[in-house]
């Protein structure tokens, strides 16, 4: 298995709005003795983000807190910075949760069943990802030899078998690349080519495709791949098999929220060639996962920070930053913070944090509303990337739907040709002799081409559709893969649904993203405000967010 899903690092909030589904669908199912539950729709950060966008002035703050470091945002970037600061012995810092603790690594619960609301797994870390190996060792996920070629990992975090399957031509098969005799030769040639790229080295002696991206080669001959799309590269290489093109689309939509005709060829190949992690107690290509996705790892990291900080030293607080004002003499910054105790739409409660250094660990399209970025070399009109909208939808089930004879349910289940990316099973990692009475399936749907919109519509058009979409329209997208596999019988088991709509879920690396001068300027910033978000890399994955979070903290502590 050589694949991964978006990671991580955006701050948002959970604004729950419970709305009714369409009557026609409900009546149709009722006539069959089935029932489609009313979905709870969460729109993380939407109301707060719109308030930030539309605010022309804020009321005077009440109360002030002074700290050495203020971390703005609790996604993977912000949490990694807090972890690194506590590890270095710094205690006088505060992290603002933002609208949603954990951001894209947040999780939810149906009673005893935890499930992901965003990113749900982490590939075994490569040799270059020493920051991730340190983090996993500290959290107890790596049990022994963290910097060896094959560390030992916690068995409960290694994905259990069967790990993945593909619904292709009405039957299940192992793996995610369609098993097609007609195109087997092209499949084999492609896999052999990307396997060679895993060890390719540029003229500067660096790996061509490394993670974090900062470790990748800057050889101009290889960087030229960023001037074309992944689809163009595939065609130029003679890859014409529809099954291979579907697989390329699936992988790009999985990590980047857009298909191969939108994604940079460099980024498309990076998906396959950048990972090289191994384990002494797992097969190559295994991944780390928890029932509630990466929120399980977030919880472990939070516990390690708590242990270092000690009782009576709070390091987290609610609220989100709405303005950053660096000191004109470079001697710190003032942060205006807002909380909405009566809910979004009501007047916020404002306070101020004064800090020696500020780590801005939020998406750059949000940061651009908090302070002028042009003086740092980042012009939002030029340098902001596309951000892909997504749905992450979880269904609580009473018992398990019937599977095809001889084909067991896997952790990750993908439907060939679908607009969705399949579904994962929350209880798959539970260690039990018998199946539990209840489970939860989480379906992932990138919204790069949806009902009422032309294929390849710009993300802002999709976001406008998402704001106005009815719960029944969202449900149609959320359940599509599950109904393709189980039919209407699925509704004999599903009795609750939570749909999380993320308008800016992940950055999409279109051609030219590696030459984005504005991102380079923010990466180099070393004043009172530092930046720590996966957006700095242009790839929304855990390792990139963790890299910039730990780098920002190390710049502060030395």
Residue 255 CB neighbours (<10 A): 25
- Per-residue HEC secondary structure of 201-245 comes to ECCCCCECCCCCHHHCCCCHHHHHHHHCEHHHHHHHCCCCCHHHH
Spatial CA neighbour of 549 closest among 105, 72, 216, 13: 72
What pairing do the DSSP bridges indicate for beta strands 64-72 and 349-360? parallel
CA dist 488 and 484 (Å) reads: 9
pTM, 2 dp = 0.92
* pLDDT at residue 168, as a whole number: 95
Token pair belonging to 250:
């699936």
Alpha helices in 237-361 (DSSP H): 242-256, 265-273, 295-309
Phi and psi at 545, nearest 5°, equal -60, -45
3-class DSSP assignment, residue 504: strand
Do the Cβ atoms of 388 and 508 come closer than 8 Å? yes
How far CA 27 is from CA of 24, 40, 270, 517, in Å, comes to 5, 19, 48, 55
Output the CA torsion 281→284→287→288 (10° steps): 20
The separation between CA 481 and the C-alpha centre of its own chain, rounded to angstroms, equals: 20
Q: What is the DSSP letter of 279?
A: B
* pLDDT at residue 19, as a whole number: 35
What pairing do the DSSP bridges indicate for beta strands 121-123 and 39-42? unpaired
Residue pLDDT tens, the chain, 558 long: 433 333 333 333 232 333 334 445 555 555 555 778 999 999 988 888 888 888 778 889 999 999 999 999 999 999 999 999 999 999 999 999 999 999 999 999 999 999 999 999 999 999 999 999 999 999 999 999 999 999 999 999 999 999 999 999 999 999 999 988 889 999 999 999 999 999 999 999 999 999 999 999 999 999 999 999 999 999 999 999 999 999 999 999 999 999 999 999 999 999 999 988 999 999 998 999 999 999 999 999 999 999 999 987 899 999 999 999 998 887 899 999 999 888 777 888 999 999 999 999 999 999 999 999 999 999 999 999 989 999 999 999 999 999 999 999 999 999 999 989 999 999 999 987 788 999 999 999 999 865 445 555 577 888 888 888 899 999 999 999 999 999 999 999 999 999 999 999 999 999 999 999 999 999 999 999 999 999 999 999 999 999 999 999 999 998
Domains and CATH numbers, the chain: 64-103+313-384+511-557 (3.50.50.60)
Token pair belonging to 547:
């890299």
- Check whether the bond before 212 is cis (ω within 30° of 0): yes
């Amino acid at each position: 298995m050589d694949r991964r899903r978006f990671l991580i690092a955006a701050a948002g909030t959970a604004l729950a709005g419970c709305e009714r589904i369409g009557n026609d669908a409900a009546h149709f199912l009722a006539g069959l003795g089935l029932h489609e539950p009313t979905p709870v729709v969460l729109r993380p950060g939407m109301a707060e983000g719109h308030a930030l966008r539309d605010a022309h002035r804020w009321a005077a703050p009440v109360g002030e807190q002074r700290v050495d470091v203020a971390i703005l945002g609790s996604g993977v970037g912000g949490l990694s910075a807090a972890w690194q600061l506590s590890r270095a012995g710094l205690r006088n810092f505060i992290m603002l949760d933002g609208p949603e603790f954990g951001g894209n690594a947040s999780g939810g619960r149906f009673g005893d069943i935890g499930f992901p609301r965003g990113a749900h797994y982490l590939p075994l870390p490569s040799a270059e990802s020493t920051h991730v190996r340190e983090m996993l060792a500290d959290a107890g996920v790596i049990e022994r030899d963290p910097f060896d070629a094959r560390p030992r990992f916690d068995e409960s975090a290694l994905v259990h078998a069967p790990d993945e399957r593909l619904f292709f031509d009405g039957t299940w098969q192992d793996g995610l690349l369609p098993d097609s005799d007609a195109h087997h030769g092209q499949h084999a040639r492609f896999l052999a080519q990307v396997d060679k790229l895993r060890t390719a080295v540029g003229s500067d002696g660096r790996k061509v495709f490394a993670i974090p991206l900062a470790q990748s080669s800057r050889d101009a001959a290889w960087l030229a791949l960023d001037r074309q799309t992944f689809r163009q590269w595939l065609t130029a290489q003679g890859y014409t098999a529809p099954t291979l093109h579907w697989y390329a689309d699936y992988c790009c939509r999985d990590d980047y929220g857009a298909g191969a005709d939108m994604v940079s060829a460099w980024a498309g190949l990076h998906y396959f060639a950048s990972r090289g992690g191994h384990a002494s107690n797992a097969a190559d290509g295994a991944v780390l996962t928890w029932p509630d996705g990466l929120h399980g790892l977030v919880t472990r990291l939070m516990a390690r920070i708590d242990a270092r900080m000690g009782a009576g030293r709070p390091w987290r607080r609610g609220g989100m930053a709405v303005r950053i004002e660096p000191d004109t003499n470079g001697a710190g910054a003032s942060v205006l913070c807002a909380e909405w105790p009566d809910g979004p739409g009501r007047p916020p409660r404002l306070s101020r944090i004064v800090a020696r250094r500020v780590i801005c660990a939020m998406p750059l399209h949000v940061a651009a509303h908090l302070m002028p970025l042009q003086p740092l070399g980042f012009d939002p009109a030029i340098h902001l990337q596309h951000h892909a909208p997504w749905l992450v939808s979880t269904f609580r089930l009473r018992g398990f739907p019937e599977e095809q004879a001889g084909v067991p349910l896997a952790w990750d289940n993908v439907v060939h040709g679908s607009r969705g990316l399949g579904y994962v099973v929350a209880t798959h990692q539970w260690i039990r002799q018998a199946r539990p009475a209840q489970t939860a399936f989480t379906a992932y749907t990138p919204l790069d081409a949806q009902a009422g919109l032309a294929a390849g519509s710009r993300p802002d058009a999709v976001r406008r559709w998402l704001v106005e979409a009815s719960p029944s329209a969202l449900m149609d997208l959320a359940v599509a893969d599950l109904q393709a596999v189980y039919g209407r019988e699925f509704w004999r088991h599903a009795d609750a649904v939570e749909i999380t709509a993320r308008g800016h879920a992940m950055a999409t690396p279109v051609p030219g993203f590696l030459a984005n001068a504005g991102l380079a300027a923010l990466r180099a910033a070393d004043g009172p405000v530092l930046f720590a978000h996966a957006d700095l890399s242009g790839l929304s994955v855990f390792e990139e967010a963790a890299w910039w979070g730990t780098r920002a903290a190390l710049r502060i502590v030395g």
